[in-house]
Structure 1
Amino acid sequence: MKITDIRWTRAFIPIEAPLRYSIGSHPGFSRIIIEVETDEGITGLGECYTGASREGQLADLKPQLIGEDPMNLERIRWKVATPSSVKLFGFALGFAGIEFALLDIQGKALNRPVCDILGGRIRDEVPFAAYLFYRYANDEGTGEVSNAEQMVAFAKALVDRYGFKTLKYKNGVLPPDEEIDTFISLRKQFPKHRIRLDPNAVWTATTAIDVARRLHDYNMEYLEDPVWGMRAMQRVNAKAPWVTLASNMSVFAFEDLAPNIMADVLDVVLLDPHWYGGIHRAKLAGQICEALGVDAGMHSGAEFGISQAAMLHLAACLPNLTLACDSHYHHLKDDILEGGMLKFENGAMKVPTGPGLGVSLDRDKLARYHELSKQHEMGAWTDDPRRGGGVITQPKW
């Protein structure tokens, strides 16, 4: 079997209401959908982060992959995504989408789901966390979340609708005092839920330590990336040793794993098949965590259904994935999959059982959301319209 063509399509899908981050806001989610064709009539699906640089990477990769056997993943990786090219030119994100498609081809050729190719599933469903954001009102004037009362109501609506047992509170948007009050309000409303906190590394170490002390009695599941960089994380760990620290920003590549783990900086590494350059590489990172006694979780980066399926297959075969995975997916209003959106049931999502990734494209929807992407040339990130311009520093507080 040989690769005969690779094509990609940018798409933008609206979300329920604009999501606020420490560094900007999401008006919707933007992704690149990848299709890899073979001479045996099998087409594999992939997905990756958007951006002109990513599409340029795919254009560079395409002529190097035509004629290759999609079964030869290691040969292909060493041909186009060597450690140096990944480090220097950021090829991991584009190659990850290619790898998803190649694994989809392999699974379809063998009539087996991708998780079977990875070693076999140890779970049939994967638990997820409700992803709580501050939000702007949508065009209909609803959906705003800007204070503790609204955040608690938002969380309750998600728990009631989807059955989530874990809450992820994305903060770093408002002053820390306000966000501490919001965390306490969430804990009072949800005394038995796990609640994790993620300010996207916009606090100083001093601020992070202060927040950890003030939330000491409120049973935080973990504190994700309170500060930027390994040294600052070490300071937080030394001054607030009772806090479980997690990261996908201090640690998002293989060369970050050993220094951070051996320096006793982290308790949880948040894996991502996009950042690590594919499902195989993310699984290897998970095995490294297992060998070194560090817990594994899973990061989310505003995925459509193809990437969501890839994450499900990865999660299915990781024995040390004991924490609910992150997922932006429930914020989407639609998807580009045949049959509609993947379903949450009782706070979890079933691992697809069909060949390959187990999902297929709705081409009408892909065409529709490709047209919509032309109105969002900057992709899914924008400046925060209520911030008043200027730059966002890191740290911010």
Structure 2
Amino acid sequence: MVEEGGFDAVKLKGTRDVRGDVAILRALRAALPEVNLRVDPNAAWSVPDSVRAGITLEELDLEYLEDPCSGIEGMSQVKAKIRIPLCTNMCVVRFEEFAPAMRLNAVDVIHGDVYKWGGIAATKALAAHCETFGLGMNLHSGGELGIATAAHLAVVASTPVLSRAIDSMYYLHADDIIEPLHLENGRLRIPEGPGLGVTVDEDKLRHFAAVNSRRRSCALCGRYSRRSGGEPSGNRSPALGWGDRKGTASRNQITYNGNICWTALQVISRMSPAVARSTRHRDGLPREWRLKCRVKRPT
């Protein structure tokens, strides 16, 4: 697939099995000697495991190691002991985290994202920061469709510091709401029309909007309901449950618009009022509470 598609960079998602990941990377390097290799364990490794794996992987000439462990401090400890460049899409995801990462010398490459960083202008501002401080930059992919991919291509085309092959899963999509972007020799062609250069197929947009309306997601934890009726599984009766209505946590009287799952409500109801109020931002629940929402499912 790599040779046929003309790709010159391959990214492997890591696991908690550090030794298994190292073995796979060795096999990939043997099979793809001329291709840039990256691995992203999504912070699944501990700091000691990251150091051991990083030292072992130095002989494979990886392009970079992305988020082997969690946190700016952990990344800093790893970076001090290995020679592979470290990339992040997890510990530097907003501008207020940039300075601490620089002070601790925690990263070499930062992943931008038009949506996570707040738009094209914000992503280009991140690029300016990276260029000023001598960091590399790349773009993250979260499975975005054609419109978002076109936005990323617009950033790449106008941002010289983005010199690496960006992450993209566009070639995996079976369909889209725009005319498919052209992929040839491992490269996506930049659309030539005005704006982002794409035209929305309104019939497909209506079709997929209808499909999506049958899957309701919690406004706080992001989990989808799989039941057509919208109620959580199990025999517990939700206080508010799924639905197009407002929900108020019984203890803290914090009101949220949109769909709220039963588990998210239980989590909020156990928060202190101050913590509950702090959740009223664009990302929904703080990360530690989102994780609890996802793990503690109703039985």
Task: Work out whether 1:167 is the aligned partner of 2:6.
Answer: no
Gaps of 5+ in 1: 1-156, 383-389
Higher Rg: 2
Structure 1 equivalent of residue 51 of structure 2: 209
Alignment of 1:343-382 (within 5 A): 343-378=182-217
Pick closer, same or farther for the CA change 1:375–1:211 going to 2, 3 Å.
farther
Match of 1:230 among 60, 72, 88: 72
Structure 2 equivalent of residue 324 of structure 1: 165
The alpha carbon displacement at 1:367 in A equals 1.8
Offset from partner CA, 1:61-105 (integer Å, 9 cap, x none): xxxxxxxxxxxxxxxxxxxxxxxxxxxxxxxxxxxxxxxxxxxxx
Name the count of aligned residue pairs.
226
Percent of pairs with identical residues: 35
Q: For 1:334 and 1:161, locate their aligned partners in 2 and report how far apart those are by CA, in whole Å.
A: 21
The alpha carbon displacement at 1:228 in A equals 1.0
Q: For 1:381 and 1:294, locate their aligned partners in 2 and report how far apart those are by CA, in whole Å.
A: 35
Alignment of 1:47-62 (within 5 A): none
Task: Indicate the structure with greater strand content.
Answer: 1
Structure 1 equivalent of residue 130 of structure 2: 289
Task: Work out whether 1:265 is the aligned partner of 2:106.
Answer: yes
Structure 2 equivalent of residue 49 of structure 1: none
Q: For 1:160 and 1:166, locate their aligned partners in 2 and report how far apart those are by CA, in whole Å.
A: 11
8 A Cα contact 1:209 1:239, kept in partner: yes
Q: For 1:265 and 1:308, locate their aligned partners in 2 and report how far apart those are by CA, in whole Å.
A: 28
Alignment of 1:1-397 (within 5 A): 157=1, 159-172=2-15, 175-240=17-82, 242-337=83-178, 339=179, 341-378=180-217
8 A Cα contact 1:229 1:250, kept in partner: yes
Offset from partner CA, 1:324-347 (integer Å, 9 cap, x none): 10012111111110x3x2121111
> 4+ residue stretches of structure 1 with deviation over 6 A?
379-382, 390-393
Tell which has more relative contact order, 1 or 2 (C-alpha 8 A, sep 6+): 1
Pick closer, same or farther for the CA change 1:335–1:321 going to 2, 3 Å.
same
Pick closer, same or farther for the CA change 1:257–1:184 going to 2, 3 Å.
same
TM-score (normalizing by structure 2) = 0.71
The secondary structure found in structure 2 opposite 1:197 is strand
8 A Cα contact 2:73 2:104, kept in partner: no
The alpha carbon displacement at 1:299 in A equals 0.8
The secondary structure found in structure 2 opposite 1:220 is coil
The alpha carbon displacement at 1:262 in A equals 3.2
Q: For 1:175 and 1:333, locate their aligned partners in 2 and report how far apart those are by CA, in whole Å.
A: 31
The alpha carbon displacement at 1:239 in A equals 2.0
The secondary structure found in structure 1 opposite 2:12 is strand
RMSD of aligned alpha carbons: 2.2
The alpha carbon displacement at 1:175 in A equals 1.4
The alpha carbon displacement at 1:160 in A equals 3.7
The alpha carbon displacement at 1:235 in A equals 0.9
- Higher alpha-carbon deviation: 201-210 or 305-314: 201-210
TM-score (normalizing by structure 1) = 0.54
The secondary structure found in structure 1 opposite 2:64 is strand
Q: For 1:376 and 1:161, locate their aligned partners in 2 and report how far apart those are by CA, in whole Å.
A: 36
Q: For 2:208 and 2:4, locate their aligned partners in 1 and report how far apart those are by CA, in whole Å.
A: 26
Q: For 1:303 and 1:318, locate their aligned partners in 2 and report how far apart those are by CA, in whole Å.
A: 20
Q: Residue type of the partner of 1:223? A: L
